[in-house]
Amino acid sequence: MVVNVDLLEPFLPLISDNYTYYIYYGGRGAGKSEGIAEALILLSTQQQHRILCIREVQNTISESVKTTLENWINKLDLNDFFKITKDEIIGANGSKFIFKGMQTYNAVNIKSIANITITWIEEGEAFSK
């Protein structure tokens, strides 16, 4: 599937380069979550990915980046490609977004989630060691 968009320049490496780690810094409202969400939606339409979206504290799915991803699916008119469930977002090509909070998991639990190709750590500065 080809989707034509104008991804903001700071986020182009997410879809065009092949680095192991990307770290985005900026204050509240800097657009980090929006840019990353858009890039991940685009990537997940191009090839199958299992994307783990985690944050330190996530009491409910509504505290995750799920709503941001859903908004980009709507903005990019990809509602026919993605199935949005209560707990996951699943692409027609088998891509899947999984949402977890570290307060109910630890490094061992998270590592045991199989076949993750991309991990998005939201609000990484709040993570404990």
Q: What is the pTM of this model?
A: 0.80
* 3-class state of residue 37 by DSSP: helix
- pLDDT-wise least confident of 5-14, 42-51, 115-124: 5-14
Which residue has better confidence, 58 or 36?
36
For residues 56 and 53, give the distance between their C-alpha atoms in angstroms, rounded to a whole number.
11
Higher pLDDT: 116 or 31? It is 116
Tell me what the mean pLDDT of segment 17-37 comes to: 77
pLDDT surpasses 90 at 122: no
| Alpha carbon distances (Å) from 11 to 23, 60, 62, 107 | 11, 27, 24, 27
Calpha distance 89→85 (Å, rounded)? 6
Beta strands in the chain (DSSP E): 50-55, 82-84, 88-91, 96-101, 118-121
Give the mean pLDDT of 36-55: 91
